[in-house]
Amino acid sequence: MPKTYFVSDLHLFANRSNAHRHLDAIARAASHAEVFVLGGDIFDFRWARLPTLKAVGRAVQWLSELTASCPGCHFHMVLGNHDYHQAFIDRLMTLQSQTTNLSWHRYYVRLGGSIFLHGDVADKEMDARTLAAAREEWLDARRGGPLLSALYDVVILTRLHKPVPHLVFSKRIVVRRILKYLESIGQGPASGVRNVYFGHTHTKLSNYHYRGLRFHNGGAPIKGLKFRIIEAEQ
C-alpha cells in the first residue's frame, strides 16, 4: 500500500494562517510519501494579503517547488472554495501539463478505498449540481478589502472563531451531509469507499464511524485551532 498523506486548509497568504510553521513538516512527509493529497483551501485568494494575481503566482511557485523536490511522490491537488479561482485554475492546468507528479481535481479524488474531498458539501445538503453552482460564485471572487480583512483578523486574534466550527458543524451533521453527497455521485460505501478524508470545517476528526465509513479531518493551522498531517489509508 503506498504511503499517503493528506492536509487541507492551510489558507496560505491569509493573515489568520499559521501554515508557515508546518511547511517544513509537510515537505518532510512528502519526501517519504508515494502519494500526497492537498485537500483544498491550501491557498486563500479571498483573504490573501497579496493582490490576487501575485498570490496565484506564489501558489504556483510553491506547488512547483514542492513537486520538484519530491519526484518520488505523486501530488493530488483537490480544490476548495477559497482556492477555487479561475486565474489559479488556468495556471494549475498548465502546471499539471508540465509536471509528471501532479494531478489536480475540482471536487474530489478517489484512491482505492479512500476518497478525498474538500468538504464544503457539509455547508448544506448538496449533490454534484449544487456543489458546482456554489463553487461558481468563487471563480472570480474579489479579494476582501483591507477593512473587512482587518475585522476578520480581530475575530481570529480574539479567538471568537473557536466555537463556530463546533456550533455550525456538529460531527453528525457534517458526516451525514458528506455521505449523502458521496452517495449522490456514486462514491458511497456500496462502491467500496471505506475512508473519507476532508477539510473545510477546521475541526480535527479521526476515525469517526458513521454508516460503514470512517471520517478524518486534520483541522487547520489557524490561530487558536489544531492541525495535523494525516497519514491516510488507500
| pLDDT per position as a tens digit, 2-36 | 899 999 999 999 999 999 999 999 999 999 999 99
CA angle 193, 195, 199 (to 5 degrees): 120
Nine-digit cell at 40? 483544498
Residue 233 has a pLDDT of 86
pLDDT tier, 85 (very low <50, low <70, confident <90, very high otherwise) = very high
d(CA 15, CA 44): 10
d(CA 95, CA 195): 29
Residue 170 has a pLDDT of 87
> Could you tell me which of 51, 37, 42, 46 has the C-alpha nearest to residue 22?
42
Residue 146 has a pLDDT of 61
Give the pLDDT mean for 138-155: 68
> Could you tell me which of 49, 218, 229, 67 has the C-alpha nearest to residue 146?
49
Please list the residues that pair with 222 across neighbouring strands: 17
pLDDT tier, 156 (very low <50, low <70, confident <90, very high otherwise) = low
Asked if pLDDT for residue 212 goes beyond 60, the answer is yes
Do the Cβ atoms of 56 and 62 come closer than 8 Å?
Answer: no
103's CB contacts (< 8 A; 6+ apart) are: 74, 75, 76, 77, 96, 109
Residue 234 has a pLDDT of 73
Quick one: which H or E segment has residue 36? Answer: strand 35-38
pLDDT tens column, 89-128: 999 999 999 999 999 999 999 999 999 999 999 999 999 9
Judge residue 133's burial from the number of C-beta atoms within 10 Å of its C-beta, 0-12 exposed, 13-18 middle, 19 or more buried.
exposed
H helices of the chain, in order, are 23-31, 52-69, 86-98, 128-136, 146-157, 163-168, 171-184
Do the Cβ atoms of 76 and 42 come closer than 8 Å?
Answer: no
